[in-house]
Each structure stands twice: as C-alpha cells, then as structure tokens.
Structure 1
C-alpha cells in the first residue's frame, strides 16, 4: 500500500492512474451509447441542436437552454445530417420525427455522435474532479474521487446519453470550484473566470440558477473570520469584483443566445410562473425597465417553472401522488447508489464529525461541499415534478469529494478497521457495472436489483425508452402477427418494421404484448400508434399485466407477455374473487 501511495504521489504515476480510469469510463460509455436506443427527451435534443446551428433560432423548444444541444450537434455539421422541414410545434417530438424522416439510415449513427460529445464532457469533469480533490486532500484522495466517478452507474448512465444532465453536473462542479478559488484568492482573474463558468452553466440547464446563492454562501463560508486569509480587501473592491463576476456571467448567457431579444421591457412579456408573474404586477413605470436577459431564456425559464409548479403524477414504492413525495430523492439515493458508495458515505460522515474539532478549515470545507447537496436535494424534494435521479445528478461529484479524504486515512497500523472497511467498499464498486450497458436501470442489491427496480421507481430511473432495439431484435427472432405494444418513449415504434396495436385497457385479451415498465406500473402516458398518432393511456390502464408473469424481459424496461384464454380466465376469476372479498388464486 505504501509503495502504491508513493507512485500515486509522483505526478506521472498520478496522471497515469487518472487517465486509465477516465479512458475506461469513456470506452464503457461508448459501448452503451452504441447499444441503447434513443431515449425519451434525447429524441428531440439533438435535432433541436442541429436546427439551432442551421437557423440561429432558439425558440424551437425553450424548455432547455441551447448550449449542450448545440455542443451535441456540433459533429453533425461535418456530416450530411439534415433537420428535415419541421413545422414550429408545441410537441418537441415533432422535431425528432422530422430528423428521423430526413435521415432514415443514419439516424442512430448521428445520435451516437451526439452522445460521444457528452462522454467528452464526462472526461473533462473527471479531470476537474481530480484537480480539485488533489488540491484539497492529496493525490490518493483524488484517485479515489475519480474512481468513484468512473465506477458510478448513475454517472455512466447519463454520460452515454445526449441530454443535459451529465453536463450540468460537471458545470456545478466547475462553478463551485472556481468560486472556491475566487473566495480564497479574491482576485480579478478568478472573479472573471467564475463569471464565465457561471454563465455557461446558465445556458446548460435552468437548475443552474441555484449556483448564484451557492456561490454567495461559499464566499461567506470561506472568507468570514478565516484566520488563514491574511490580507484584507476593501469593501469597494469586493463589490466591484462581484459586480464583474455577474456582469461576465450575464454577457456569456446573452452571447449563448446571440443576444436575441435581450433588454426587452417587462411589459413585452406575459409570464405564467408564480415567481415571474410578480414582474407583470409591477407599476407601469417599472414595467418599462429592460430585462438584461435573452427573450427565449426568460420565456423558457418561466415555462419550466410553470410546469414544475403543476400537479404531476409521481411514483414511489407502488404509490402514486400528484403532489410528489418529500422523501422521493432520499429513497432514490437509497435505491440507486451502490452499497459500497453508501458505506463510504457513512464512513466519511463519521470521519468529518470526528475531526471537526481538529481543523476549523474542515468545517468551512464541509459547508462548501454540503451546500450544493442540501440545496439541490431540498428544493427538488419540494417539487411536484419528480421524475428521476437525474434531477439531482449534480450532487454526485460533491458526494465523491466528501468521501475522497478517506484515502488519506488508509493505514493498517493506525486505522485497521477503517482501512478494511474502505478497501472492501471500494473493491465492491466495480460489481455495480456488471449490468452494462443498462446503467440507467441500475438498482442496488437490497432494493432488488434492476429486475425489481420498477416496484420502487420508474421513468428515467429505469425506463426511458432505451430498449426499443432489443424489442426489434426479439420480434425478428420471434415473429408475431400484430402484437400489442405500449412503449414509453418518443421514437415511433413503427421503426420496428412490424405492425402492432394498442393493448386493451383495463382488461386483458389473448395475444402477445410488449409493455414498458413505466406503463406497467400505471403511469398515464400518450403512446404512439402504428400510424404515428397518439393514444392517451389513463392511470393504471395496463396495470392488469402485473397479474401475469412475463415471457421475456428485454433489458430491464420492456416486458413481453403471451396471454392465453386460460390466462385471461384466471385474471377474471381473481377479479371476481377479489370483489367478493376472497383471496384470489394465481
């Protein structure tokens, strides 16, 4: 162990370890990117990004800022990829349909190129994690932090998809790192860098608005009454640097939208979210004030907030609620974090508490690392719209940083029990990758694994439309005449090349059916029919399939059922017995 530590302390050995880990993550992510079908939101992100490059417009789908869509679509500019001719639509899936129609043979290849761009961001984020962890705790701790990053099924799942979730996790890390530098050095250089990174985060995902209070809290935590900061900075200089930080951030945000619609007066908007509605209620004189933000950004933020404030069906542990669960994300972390990581978090928490009296800086640093975690999880837990771990993915790198110091305490002489516990936990983490390429559906062992994950959570936690290619391969191997299909995804199932029908609602009929896990657990959804039109499934419309055992499981998100007349009779008999208060027999 001592020899290994000495090698890691050497810069060449350190960067060799980091490079191997990140290369492993990239290759595993590339494998997943090639194997999985296009997921739910991903279906329109790439086409909208390409439309942005082609037209210079950002109003095709305002629900997400343009940076990562444009980044993902960048390699498509050097191909023959076409956007098609989509009409401006309130349904963003129409842009995916037009893209699919315009590129019928190469569409998957183009989506893989977009996914590779996210994998590049995952590598860059891992490098930044290594740099910060080494500055904070040393080289062994940095290697542990990057090991956690590369072995996390939740990070791998999102790194292999062309969505904003992995990117915003990286930008949360980058912004807080720059804020840490700015707070400790209090220089113009880091004020400007922090402002630029903050601006990039704002055009990645609207969640980044939380970085503003996080940066302010971080500055106070590190600066106020800190004996390690010897020089006093004049208050005017501090305010000037903060002003420069926010000015640069605003400029980057506006530049991301090519300054389109910037500085329009408040009266030109009609907001719908509770927060921005207050602007419409200001006196007429104040409503003439210009807003220093792009029009599409403001309208998108307003729409996002309005949607998040509406009632939305949320599922947790076989229960549905329209107002969400305050404990949703706590249970999500309990179910979807590998047990080795959970053990490391417990050990790290014990060590942080144990050492709080020895190093006052540790308490400051603990506050810096915990602030994003508590704020993001707390706010997400109060939301009515709770759809998956991806909403709190930015907390992951900060959890890894909290765990990282354990590497410095590994010593079989002085910390024998702690050393054994850390080594066992670390060695168990690679086993969580055995489900590749199905990292999206990962659930830990005590929650029942991905086979039973849908009993706890659905949607992007396990079923985001990623197994359509597996269904296609299954139907080619087991041809079925007009199967029933209810697919939780946006890519048209007609691409399977097999005619299908919508399954009957509320009651079974004999036949072969393929049912997505989210719909199996009762999620209301608008599914695609064979002709491309929509059919609205009500809550638990297909819940009767839970009575039957599937014939096949495709990945962990689609179940295949072959129902006979005898199966239907058993179900009807069980329903009748239940109505009479008797115990049904299967």
Structure 2
C-alpha cells in the first residue's frame, strides 16, 4: 500500500505540471527564439541539413521537429533565407510559420509537445535519482519544488534549449558519480554516452568538463583512510577510463552532428563558417575550426566547434538588455542573484534560508574543526558535494558573463538547489541525533522529541508549500512574467527586467483576444517576439516603430521594447536617440494589457 502511494504522489505532481504547462502553452504565441528553433529543427529531421541555427546543438530542436514530419508542411527552400543567406534563421522561420500556407498554431503546438514531455522526463529522472540517493521523502519534496517552479513551468513548454541543458547536467553529473563509485567499463560507457548527449543539448554543458575534473580529483583526495601516495596512484589508474569516457562523448557528438549534416554541402559549411567567424578574435581557434571543416571525417566536429565559438563570441559581446532602470550590454554581477531572488517563489526562498542555516549548524556540530572536517564531510556526502559544487561553479561562471537576458541561463542549477534544500528541510522536520529507545520511558521521550515537538516544523513547511502552490495558481497562465512580491509581483516585474524574464513575445494571441473582445477596428503595434501581428490581427494591425513619432488611437507596445527605449543607458553604452525613444508615452497610462507583457494605450489626436 505504501509503495503505491509513494509512486502515486510523484505521478500526480508530474500530471499537474503537464496540465499547467499545456494550458499556458495553448495561450502563448511563439516566443522570439522559437522563430529560429522550430524551422531549424524541422530542417534537421526533414532534410538532414544543418545550415540553420548552428549556435545551438541539434538535439532539442530535432526532437521538436519530429512530430512536424507527419503534418505535410510546406517548407520554402526556394527563398533567399535558405538558398543564399548565411544562417537566415529568422527570415526562414517567419516564412515557414506564417507565409507558406501552413497553420502556425498547429506547428507551434506539435513542436512544443515534445518539450512538455521532455520536461516531465527531467522530473522523472530527477525523482528517481534523488530517491535512490536520499530517500523518497527528500525526492518527493524536491520534485514538488521542481513541479511548482514558475521558471520551469514557463520554460518547460517552449522550443528552446534551457530544459535540455537541465537534462544534460542531470544525466551528466548522475552518470559521472556512478562512474566514480564503480569505475567499471560499463559505467564508463554510460558516463561517456551521457556526456555526449549532454553536449548535444546545449553548449553550456561544456562546463561539465571542468566540473568533472574537480569532482574526480576531490573523489580521491577525500579517501582519508589512504596515504597521499595511494590516493595519487588510484587517481592515476582511473585516468584511462576518464579519457575513454571523453572519447565516447566525442564519438556520440560526431555521429549525431554527422547524421544531421548528411545533406549539408561541405562547400556551404565552409562558406558559413568563414562568414560567421569573420570577426572572432582568436584566429588560431578559427583556423582549427576551418581545418576540421575541410576534412570529411571531422566535418561534424567542426560544426560543433563552430557553435561553441559562436557562443563564446556572443557572450563576449553581451546582449543589450534592460535591468533595474538601466540599459546596457555590459552585464552586471548582481544580475543573476537578483533575478533568482525575484523569480523564485517566496515560500521556497524561506525554505532555502531555513535549510541553509540548519545545514551549517549541523555540519559545525558533527565534524571537528579544520581541513579534516571538510574531508570527512565530502567523503560521507559525496553526491551532495558534487551537486553543491556544480551549483557553485555554474553560478561563478554565470556571474562573470555579460549575457544578462534571463534567469533561464542558470536553470540547470535549479534541480540541484531543490535537492540541497529539500535534504536539509526533511532532516530539520524529522530532527536527528536521537538514539533508539532502550525502554518504555525512552520510547515516549523519543515520540515527544521527534514527533510532538516536530509538529510546528511540519506545520511551517506545509504552510510554505501551500503558499508556493497558491502563487503558481494565481500567476497562471503567465508563468514567464512571474515575479514574486520582492520584484513587484507578476503585474510589475517588468520594472526589474524584461526579455525572457517577462516579455519574450508570448502574449500576441492574448492581445488579439483583447482587440476582438473590445471591438477595436485598428491598432498600431510595436511587437517583440516570434509571432506575426499581421497573422493574428489581420487588417486591424498597423505596424509602428518609434521613429514614426507619436501614434494616435489605439497603440500597443511590447514591454521589452518600451523599457529598452525610455530608460537611460549605462555608459559607455550609447544613449537612445530621440527618434528611437518612446519618451512621448510618458504621462499616458495604459488602458489595458495583452496578457501581461504588452501595454495598450488609447492616444487621442
């Protein structure tokens, strides 16, 4: 009976998550990145051609493209964005979705469905691994936090690589820990396979390599019962399998890339590579990429390497974004900590503080002072250390990045944070340090200390979990725009940041619903996103941009564009030119919203 209940709870949680994501997805228009990812994925599986979107690995996009094979779609291959442009992903996406006689909502639905299932699959793996390592109670609480995370509910149903990156770090770390604990050739092969798959999901999983090295060295360092010489010998003996794991990963990458490049002409690949890397600073790396691309056997690795270099190039240049009243492309080291505190549920943040304080106190009490304390703790809690170090290293790297366009970029660390918090909260609720009762008196004493005194702790936790659920239900279906009370709530989070934190173009269909329900005959619109205003608004749509000056009548604008144009720039980033600014909207209050992210005004003549 208990066994069935233990399985029914995670199944119910994941079913709720699927329903919440599906409901939100049906109301969301295409977001900005889907305009590139959906046609790219379809081209991979339909034509085995990788000319589109090389700055992201293929696996997530290809999975999204599989259902589209059964829809008998028109994919234009005779237009400039496909035939002559270099990586003409945006124009190709617009043509494929909205100008080729296809049903864009049908395409978006079927492309997103595998993403929903992939998110549920991540939840299943997360629960199974956590349950095996830390018990079902910790696993259930961790899964609960995963299921009711506004960020996972938002990004778990889009055709983007963020949920793929989360899966990559989960399977990458899980399989590597198994390899360290039992370095058989079977586990070596599994770890190598998982590493290769991770690299095919998002390029940020490249960070697994330094994480692996540190965890590998730490695994042998904390063998406290061995001399340093013995530890060094054990580590050296494992190097061959460690290297073999990497080779297996490279083979997996090469095979998958090679498959999706079967009909991608080598001359076209070389032309694209030269153009896309023409401004890359380190010419040695560029020459290596070009050399790899010039040989048939290494062409797949060259295209993988091209994507890595494109990510490095983009990260170095930053991305123009609005944050805390300023517009900049330089980034801020406070960006991710602030966004994390604003985008996570307050209930979870309280649990995290309690868990952190309890964990520190418990470690200080249990282990003697000095370096040995750390060594013994790591040895006895190696999986916890590995998860914690992954979070630390990933965040340390992210804090230095000027690419500040969304909390989603640290999403792969969320499950590990949920695990670490849940483990401490469960321990705090149960209480520990009490011996088994030796008699009737000690039995009642144990009941009193472990259960009666624990009632307030259980009550606090359940109230906080209920608060988390309440916030998610209240924010439905606007999960992408979710901010907690620290950030002004879902209605006012745009004052902190926009882009994929608040407005990624997801509310165009909701704007169309507003226009229809309010009998608006004509509306000017400046829109940011992957939707097509002319498709959803028809003849009522009047394209607008800031240089056209003040609009009259009904006017709507995406908040990403509004906040980016009316707020001051951080030097040396240039100030917005007057003709590019919507400063003329100051003094006007919106009369409504399309969803949460599109302001609607009525401006009299």
CA contact (8 A) 1:464 1:488 kept: yes
Residue 456, structure 1, aligned to residue 456, structure 2: no
Of 194, 211, 214, 1:214 maps to 211
Of 104, 114, 138, 1:117 maps to 114
1:279 alignment partner in structure 2: 285
SS in 2 for 1:423: helix
Deviation at 1:367, TM superposition (A): 2.9
Of 338, 341, 355, 2:345 maps to 338
Question: For 1:342-393, what per-residue CA distance to the aligned partner results, in whole angstroms no more than 9, with x for missing partners?
Answer: 1111112112212224372466444311222222222222222211011111
SS in 1 for 2:417: helix
1:578 alignment partner in structure 2: none
Deviation at 1:106, TM superposition (A): 2.5
Deviation at 1:273, TM superposition (A): 7.4
Deviation at 1:438, TM superposition (A): 1.0
Residue 518, structure 1, aligned to residue 567, structure 2: no
Equivalent residues in 2 for 1:271-420 (5 A)? 271=277, 277-279=283-285, 294-357=301-364, 358=366, 360=377, 361=379, 364-405=382-423, 406-411=425-430, 412-415=451-454, 418-420=457-459
Give the aligned length. 542
CA contact (8 A) 2:555 2:602 kept: yes
Relative to the length of structure 1, the TM-score reads 0.85
SS in 1 for 2:601: strand
Deviation at 1:293, TM superposition (A): 5.5
Distance 2:351 2:225 in 1: 30
Deviation at 1:228, TM superposition (A): 8.7
Distance 1:147 1:486 in 2: 39
Equivalent residues in 2 for 1:135-150 (5 A)? 135-150=132-147
Question: What are structure 2's unaligned runs of at least 5 residues?
Answer: 368-376, 431-450, 567-575
Equivalent residues in 2 for 1:153-192 (5 A)? 153-192=150-189
Range with bigger deviation, 121-130 or 369-378: 369-378
1:465 alignment partner in structure 2: 505
SS in 2 for 1:561: strand
CA contact (8 A) 1:183 1:218 kept: no
- Rate the CA distance shift 1:554–1:135 in 2: closer, same or farther, 3 A: same
Question: For 1:148-173, what per-residue CA distance to the aligned partner results, in whole angstroms no more than 9, with x for missing partners?
Answer: 11111100101111111112112211
Distance 2:140 2:489 in 1: 28
- Rate the CA distance shift 1:315–1:564 in 2: closer, same or farther, 3 A: same
Q: Which one has a larger percent helix, Structure 1 or Structure 2?
A: 2
2:514 alignment partner in structure 1: 474
Equivalent residues in 2 for 1:2-21 (5 A)? 10-21=2-13
2:542 alignment partner in structure 1: 500
Deviation at 1:276, TM superposition (A): 5.1
- Rate the CA distance shift 1:281–1:74 in 2: closer, same or farther, 3 A: closer
Residue 426, structure 1, aligned to residue 465, structure 2: yes
2:247 alignment partner in structure 1: 247
SS in 2 for 1:61: coil
- Rate the CA distance shift 1:44–1:322 in 2: closer, same or farther, 3 A: closer
- Rate the CA distance shift 1:422–1:229 in 2: closer, same or farther, 3 A: farther
CA contact (8 A) 1:520 1:540 kept: no
Equivalent residues in 2 for 1:537-552 (5 A)? 541-552=581-592
Distance 1:541 1:352 in 2: 50
2:570 alignment partner in structure 1: none
Deviation at 1:175, TM superposition (A): 0.9
Distance 1:62 1:30 in 2: 28
SS in 1 for 2:480: helix
Of 193, 218, 221, 2:190 maps to 193
- Rate the CA distance shift 1:280–1:303 in 2: closer, same or farther, 3 A: closer
CA contact (8 A) 1:515 1:559 kept: yes
SS in 2 for 1:65: coil
Range with bigger deviation, 512-521 or 502-511: 502-511
Question: For 1:69-110, what per-residue CA distance to the aligned partner results, in whole angstroms no more than 9, with x for missing partners?
Answer: 100111111222232224333441112122124654522122
Deviation at 1:59, TM superposition (A): 1.8
CA contact (8 A) 1:221 1:367 kept: no
- Rate the CA distance shift 1:150–1:285 in 2: closer, same or farther, 3 A: closer
Residue 561, structure 1, aligned to residue 601, structure 2: yes
CA contact (8 A) 1:273 1:302 kept: no
Deviation at 1:315, TM superposition (A): 1.8
Question: For 1:544-583, what per-residue CA distance to the aligned partner results, in whole angstroms no more than 9, with x for missing partners?
Answer: 4243211001211101000124xxxxxxxxxxxxxxxxxx
SS in 2 for 1:257: helix
Equivalent residues in 2 for 1:22-101 (5 A)? 22-85=14-77, 86=79, 87-88=81-82, 89=85, 90-101=87-98
RMSD across aligned positions (CA): 3.1
1:569 alignment partner in structure 2: none
Question: What are structure 1's unaligned runs of at least 5 residues?
Answer: 1-6, 525-535, 566-586
1:487 alignment partner in structure 2: 527
Deviation at 1:329, TM superposition (A): 0.4
SS in 2 for 1:439: coil
CA contact (8 A) 2:97 2:107 kept: no
Distance 1:352 1:275 in 2: 45
- Rate the CA distance shift 1:327–1:56 in 2: closer, same or farther, 3 A: same
Distance 2:70 2:294 in 1: 44
